[in-house]
């Protein structure tokens, strides 16, 4: 197994797993390969995105990825790493790749003087929560998670709230 950083010039490597993730979380995937690749190149890995991607490979097969960002300011003049997504292909689950990726991300966080590594998990995916707690992660209960979506987001942006 090998974990590599994926930049915009190698975005095509992410296409199959982004399609798989789309189907996993949202059901039928109505996006074409061309649309998904454009999304990866022009949004996820664009210059205005702070997201970085680490991908885990076995030989030439992409088995999973994590998207993350380091946020500043953070506690004690350091940063805070936030994992947006950690996704392992269905065919590779249960083989220790999630733990390997979490260790990799923890190493990046420590290297960049982050004092915390944070993420969220779907409450509808108890297996994820069990995994994170089994590797020693603390379930944070004192935080509240807020969101503006779709029309409400547009209304806020347009001062109509």
Rounded percentage of the chain residues whose pLDDT exceeds 70: 99
Q: Provide the 8-state DSSP code for 117.
A: E
- Of the candidates 130, 132, 131, which has an alpha carbon nearest to the alpha carbon of residue 118? 132
Residue boundaries of the structural domains of the chain: 2-119
- Rounded mean pLDDT of 124-150? 93
- Rounded mean pLDDT of 2-21? 96
Q: Map tokens 């199959």 to a residue.
A: 16
**Contact yes or no for 62/96 (Cβ under 8 A):** no
- Of the candidates 100, 93, 147, 89, which has an alpha carbon nearest to the alpha carbon of residue 120? 147
- Residue 65 token pair: 């990825």
d(CA 30, CA 7): 25
Task: Give the neighbor-by-neighbor strand order of the sheet with 79-88.
Answer: 2-6, 52-58, 61-71, 79-88, 114-119
Domain 2-119 has CATH 1.20.120.1230: no
Per-residue pLDDT reduced to its tens digit, 55-75: 999 988 999 999 999 999 988
Q: Map tokens 């993420």 to a residue.
A: 119
């Amino acid at each position: 197994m090998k974990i590599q950083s994926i930049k915009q010039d190698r975005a095509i490597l992410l296409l199959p797993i982004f399609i798989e993730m789309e189907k996993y979380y949202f059901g039928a995937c109505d996006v074409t390969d061309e649309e998904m690749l454009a999304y990866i190149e022009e949004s996820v890995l664009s210059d205005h995105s702070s997201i970085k991607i680490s991908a885990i490979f076995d030989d030439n097969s992409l088995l999973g990825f994590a998207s993350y960002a380091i946020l500043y300011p953070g506690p004690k003049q350091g940063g805070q790493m936030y994992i947006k997504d950690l996704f392992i292909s269905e065919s590779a689950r249960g083989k220790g790749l999630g733990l390997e990726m979490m260790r990799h991300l923890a190493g990046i966080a420590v290297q960049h003087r982050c004092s915390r590594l944070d993420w969220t998990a779907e409450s509808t995916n108890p297996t994820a929560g069990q995994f994170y707690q089994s590797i020693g992660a603390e379930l944070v209960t004192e935080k509240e998670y807020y969101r503006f979506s779709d029309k409400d987001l547009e209304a806020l942006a347009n001062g109509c709230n």
